[in-house]
């Protein structure tokens, strides 16, 4: 448990094993790596790159919406831009962001393993991501699709824009997601350190495990669906296009059978990050460990039976609407259980208000408000007015940006010393966090009101009485954009010039801090034996590598 005499000497005296960053510095040593940490870092760099691209599209859209009439770009370019914003943010950022970047980096460390179960497959998953992204980008440069990220038929089977490369790109990205999920499931089942029973697993591992189940079961359905749309476009099969004998609503059922669980692919790992950060910064054991762990599995399971709440006005039967409506309520209950337990974790803790904690506060508020507006949308009759308006846009941005991106940023700051052995500037971190949380509210609260007011989404031009709220939203988006730019700049500077971090700067008792920061290539000189729950703060440790006997 405690840093023993021998350990301190080993840390101070003997030359330490080279960290994973120093073990080979050529480009090829990165591209050919089978080290889960390097794969994680490559994923992290890629998802941040695509987040910036998606963000630029978002700002361009907001600039157009300053004016109700034609302005800045023409209608078809606008339609392409919101499609690309959606596709980039969902398939290239949100889905891989936390599982593939942080999951790859910390999951093996958390369970005391030297690597994931299939290191080559892990690298393969990264290259599939690169291939899928390259094809999608190629499609964007050569025209881009104008279907919206939802690809609703028969519009997507008949539009003359370049839908095929985007469909193919998303299809390949799906395989990257499936392989990562498969790898994590096998890793969690086979490579846990001695003593690490299921009921001692860190909560991030639980939520990533639940995510992996969804990735494996739901993503193939998306693959099939996108493939059928492609075949319909190329070969003229009529599966979805009614002009050729197909059924357009069938597409919506198949699409949302993936894409609703995909929301949980995006948000469950975020919940895992928050579970870790809340404990570390409250210096407290998770309140209701089992409740948080089981509710992750509950969300993964029930999430498969709620897709019909996207079709309340699409012509499905009233009975179906009722069934999907009540099932959607259960997902809300599981999320509520988590929220109460996170707040409970702070009770009698020792809370330190650092940058990740600022994002936790943002996250809690956004997930309660975003989650409850989600349940409100699933309240069948209310959805009639809100469906396909800015209310829906604001709701899912509260969950996707408000919850997932806040958790991504919390994790990025929490694990930054772990990944790179450097510290970020705390003052700038808090400034950026305040800007982002403020800017986020200023962007999306006006959009809730726009939805109430009746402004449909994906509108290039809009009636003039919607203008004031649109201008307010664009002003907020500018703040939000500044916040992200500040983070990007100080983290890049900190990578090279940040002061050296101690191995465990937060005094955290998460299991990933059992090894040095940054960790050596093989993670542990000796596989640790786990004798306690994660985040047990009943005893004090001097800052340093925690040793679990």
Answer yes or no whether residue 182 interacts with another protein by CB under 8 A.
no
| Contact call for residues 359 and 430 (beta carbons, < 8 A) | no
As measured in angstroms, the least distance from the Cβ of 145 to another protein is 12
| Contact call for residues 228 and 275 (beta carbons, < 8 A) | no
User: Both tokens of residue 284?
Assistant: 């407290």
Which stretch, 13-21, 182-190, 192-200, 245-253, contacts another protein (CB under 8 A)?
A: 245-253
Torsion of CA 169, 175, 180, 181, to 10 degrees: 120
Answer yes or no whether residue 544 interacts with another protein by CB under 8 A.
no
Instruction: Select from 326, 489, 495, 549 the one that contacts another protein (CB under 8 A).
Output: 326
User: Both tokens of residue 325?
Assistant: 């409506």
CA distances from 400 to 94, 149, 270, 397, 423 (A): 8, 15, 10, 5, 27
Instruction: Select from 33, 104, 122, 161 the one that contacts another protein (CB under 8 A).
Output: 161
Radius of gyration for the alpha carbons in the chain, expressed in angstroms and rounded: 23
Considering the complex, state which of residue 23 and residue 536 has its C-beta at the smaller distance from another protein: 536
Three state DSSP letters for 499-546:
CECCCCCCCCCCHHHHCCCCCECCCCCCCCCCCCCCCCCCCCCCCCCC
Interface mask (CB under 8 A) for another protein, residues 386-425, using x and -? Answer: -xxx------------------------------------
Residues 509-528 interacting with another protein (rule: CB under 8 A): none
Which stretch, 39-47, 168-176, 186-194, 450-458, contacts another protein (CB under 8 A)?
A: 450-458
Answer yes or no whether residue 250 interacts with another protein by CB under 8 A.
no
Answer yes or no whether residue 346 interacts with another protein by CB under 8 A.
yes
Instruction: Select from 86, 112, 154, 272 the one that contacts another protein (CB under 8 A).
Output: 154
As measured in angstroms, the least distance from the Cβ of 339 to another protein is 6
Residues 11-50 interacting with another protein (rule: CB under 8 A): none
Instruction: Select from 384, 497, 499, 500 the one that contacts another protein (CB under 8 A).
Output: 384
The neighbouring-strand residues paired with 422 are 500
Considering the complex, state which of residue 119 and residue 456 has its C-beta at the smaller distance from another protein: 456
Answer yes or no whether residue 236 interacts with another protein by CB under 8 A.
no
How big is the site for another protein, counted in residues (CB under 8 A)?
96
Answer yes or no whether residue 302 interacts with another protein by CB under 8 A.
no
Answer yes or no whether residue 460 interacts with another protein by CB under 8 A.
yes
Instruction: Select from 35, 115, 146, 276 the one that contacts another protein (CB under 8 A).
Output: 146
Answer yes or no whether residue 499 interacts with another protein by CB under 8 A.
no
Interface mask (CB under 8 A) for another protein, residues 78-117, using x and -? Answer: -x--------------------------------------
Answer yes or no whether residue 456 interacts with another protein by CB under 8 A.
yes
As measured in angstroms, the least distance from the Cβ of 55 to another protein is 22
DSSP assignment letter at 367: H
Answer yes or no whether residue 248 interacts with another protein by CB under 8 A.
yes
The DSSP code sequence of 82-146 is HHHHHHIIIIIIIHHIIIIIIIHHHHHHHTT-SS-S-HHHHHHHHHHHHHHHHHHHHHHHTT---
Answer yes or no whether residue 164 interacts with another protein by CB under 8 A.
no
Of the candidates 102, 415, 86, 444, the residue with the CA atom closest to the CA atom of residue 270: 102
Give the count of beta carbons closer than 10 Å to the beta carbon of residue 527: 14
Of the candidates 162, 134, 110, the residue with the CA atom closest to the CA atom of residue 50: 134
As measured in angstroms, the least distance from the Cβ of 187 to another protein is 28
Q: Locate tokens 């003052």: which residue?
A: 427
| Contact call for residues 402 and 480 (beta carbons, < 8 A) | no
Of the candidates 338, 371, 260, 264, the residue with the CA atom closest to the CA atom of residue 306: 260
Instruction: Select from 16, 242, 529, 549 the one that contacts another protein (CB under 8 A).
Output: 242
Considering the complex, state which of residue 118 and residue 537 has its C-beta at the smaller distance from another protein: 537
Of the candidates 492, 76, 12, the residue with the CA atom closest to the CA atom of residue 4: 12
Answer yes or no whether residue 507 interacts with another protein by CB under 8 A.
yes
As measured in angstroms, the least distance from the Cβ of 105 to another protein is 26
Instruction: Select from 52, 216, 368, 475 the one that contacts another protein (CB under 8 A).
Output: 368
SS3 19: strand
Instruction: Select from 10, 76, 199, 231 the one that contacts another protein (CB under 8 A).
Output: 76
| Contact call for residues 171 and 226 (beta carbons, < 8 A) | yes
Considering the complex, state which of residue 48 and residue 393 has its C-beta at the smaller distance from another protein: 393
Contacts of 502 (CB under 8 A, 6+ apart): 417, 517, 543, 544
H or E segment and range at residue 75:
helix 75-87
As measured in angstroms, the least distance from the Cβ of 410 to another protein is 14
Which stretch, 87-95, 114-122, 224-232, 449-457, contacts another protein (CB under 8 A)?
A: 449-457
CA distances from 376 to 130, 152, 309, 373, 519 (A): 38, 24, 11, 5, 45
Considering the complex, state which of residue 340 and residue 396 has its C-beta at the smaller distance from another protein: 340
Answer yes or no whether residue 434 interacts with another protein by CB under 8 A.
no
Rounded to an integer, what distance in angstroms lies between the CA atom of residue 531 and that of residue 202? 13
Rounded to an integer, what distance in angstroms lies between the CA atom of residue 290 and that of residue 202? 11
Answer yes or no whether residue 382 interacts with another protein by CB under 8 A.
yes
């Amino acid at each position: 448990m405690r840093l023993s005499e021998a350990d301190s000497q080993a840390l101070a005296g003997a030359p330490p094993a080279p960290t994973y960053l120093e073990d080979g510095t050529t480009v090829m040593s990165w591209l050919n790596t089978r080290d889960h940490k390097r794969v994680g870092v490559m994923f992290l760099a890629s998802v941040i790159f695509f987040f910036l691209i998606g963000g630029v599209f978002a700002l361009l859209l907001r600039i157009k919406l300053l004016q109700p009439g034609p302005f800045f770009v023409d209608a078809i370019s606008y339609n392409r831009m919101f499609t690309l914003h959606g596709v980039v943010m969902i398939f290239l950022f949100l889905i891989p962001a936390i599982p593939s970047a942080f999951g790859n980096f910390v999951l093996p460390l958390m369970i005391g393993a030297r690597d994931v179960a299939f290191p080559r497959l892990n690298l393969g998953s990264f290259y599939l991501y690169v291939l899928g992204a390259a094809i999608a980008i190629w499609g964007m440069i050569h025209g881009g699709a104008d279907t919206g990220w939802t690809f609703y038929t028969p519009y997507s089977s008949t539009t003359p824009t370049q839908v095929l490369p985007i469909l193919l790109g998303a299809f390949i990205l799906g395989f990257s997601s499936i392989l990562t999920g498969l790898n994590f499931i096998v890793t969690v089942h086979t490579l846990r350190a001695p003593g690490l029973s299921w009921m001692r697993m860190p909560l991030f591992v639980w939520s990533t495990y639940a995510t992996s189940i969804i990735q494996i079961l739901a993503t193939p359905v998306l693959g099939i669906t996108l493939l059928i749309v492609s075949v319909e476009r190329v070969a003229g099969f009529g599966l979805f296009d009614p002009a050729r004998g197909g059924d357009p609503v069938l597409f919506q059922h198949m699409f949302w059978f993936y894409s609703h669980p995909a929301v949980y692919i995006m948000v469950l790992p975020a919940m895992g990050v928050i579970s870790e950060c809340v404990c570390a910064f409250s210096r407290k054991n998770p309140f209701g460990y089992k409740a948080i762990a089981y509710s992750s599995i509950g969300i993964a399971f029930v999430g498969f039976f709620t897709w019909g709440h996207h079709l309340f006005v699409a012509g499905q039967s009233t009975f179906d609407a009722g069934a999907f409506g009540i099932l959607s309520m259960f997902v809300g209950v599981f999320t509520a259980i988590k929220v109460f337990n996170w707040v409970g974790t702070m009770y009698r803790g020792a809370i330190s208000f650092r940058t990740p904690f600022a994002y936790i506060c943002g996250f809690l508020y956004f997930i309660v408000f975003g989650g409850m507006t989600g349940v409100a949308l699933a309240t069948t009759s209310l959805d009639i007015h809100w469906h396909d308006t800015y209310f829906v846009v604001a709701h899912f941005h509260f969950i996707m940006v408000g919850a997932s991106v806040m958790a991504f940023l919390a994790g990025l700051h929490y694990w930054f010393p772990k990944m790179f052995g450097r510290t970020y500037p705390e003052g700038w971190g808090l400034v950026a966090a305040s800007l982002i949380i403020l800017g986020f509210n200023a962007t999306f609260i006006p959009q809730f009101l726009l939805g109430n007011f009746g402004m449909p989404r994906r509108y290039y031009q809009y009636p003039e009485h919607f203008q004031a709220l649109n201008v307010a939203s664009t002003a907020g988006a500018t703040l939000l954009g500044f916040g992200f730019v500040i983070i990007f700049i100080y983290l890049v500077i900190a990578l090279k010039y940040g002061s050296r971090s101690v191995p465990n700067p937060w005094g955290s008792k998460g299991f990933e801090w059992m090894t040095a920061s940054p960790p050596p290539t093989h993670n542990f000189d000796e596989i640790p034996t786990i004798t306690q729950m994660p985040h047990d703060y009943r005893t004090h440790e001097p800052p340093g590598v925690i040793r679990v006997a």
